[in-house]
Structure formats: structure tokens, C-alpha cells
Amino acid sequence: GNSVTQMEGPVTLSEEAFLTINCTYTATGYPSLFWYVQYPGEGLQLLLKATKADDKGSNKGFEATYRKETTSFHLEKGSVQVSDSAVYFCALMPSGGYNKLIFGAGTRLAVHP
């Protein structure tokens, strides 16, 4: 079946530190991969996506590369800000599946000044 595994949080960093949040997946076929972010009290919003192997998604300084050989889609940012504090969800969208998403458990990031 399809599933997503994320590193457990919380992740606590100082401002300007380097961020990595690990994500691995199990899927049949050729899924698309996504990172969504949830700020306190809000719904999820798309951060970035990649639809095929070796694609790199990027947005707001965040990057993730679709690695089919390691079934991974790790999220990285070179220098985090306090405003990046949120919960980050890795998700996969199976091919031909009406855009249904399968989510990881989420990783809470706290950035301190």
C-alpha cells in the first residue's frame, strides 16, 4: 500500500540554522510528492511539490528533491526564520487517484531568535 513516514518532532532550531526534515514513502506506481505547511490555527497550504523522479520542488527558500532510488523527499532550508515555525507535512498523491493525498504524521518546527 501507500504510506509516508516523517521524522518525529519537535525540531527546535535557532534562527539562521540549517533545516532538514526527513520524509520517506512507500508507493505503487509513480506518485507525486508534496510538502504542506500548517501555521497555528490555520489550514494546510502547499509549500512545494515534485511530480516525477529527480524533480526538485522549491518555494520560499525551501527545497526537496524526489529521489526514487531511496524513496525519499527530504525538506531542506539553508537558513530558517522565526516565521518558519509551523507543522510540516509530507504527502504523496498516487497516480490516477483523483488528487487524494496520503499524509505523513507531520513534523513540528520551532525556530527561536
Binder among 32, 57, 73, 109 for another protein (CB under 8 A):
32
Binder among 45, 59, 81, 83 for another protein (CB under 8 A):
45
Question: What is the rounded distance in angstroms from the CA atom of residue 47 to the CA atom of residue 19?
Answer: 15
Residues 6+ apart with CB under 8 A from 46: 34, 35, 36
HEC string of 16-36 equals CCCEEECEEEECCCCCEEEEE
Binder among 44, 64, 80, 111 for another protein (CB under 8 A):
44
Binder among 20, 46, 56, 61 for another protein (CB under 8 A):
46
Residue at 85: amino acid letter: S
Minimal distance in Å, beta carbon 63 to another protein?
17
**Interface residues toward another protein, by CB under 8 A:** 4, 32, 34, 41-46, 49, 51, 89, 91, 93, 95-96, 98-106
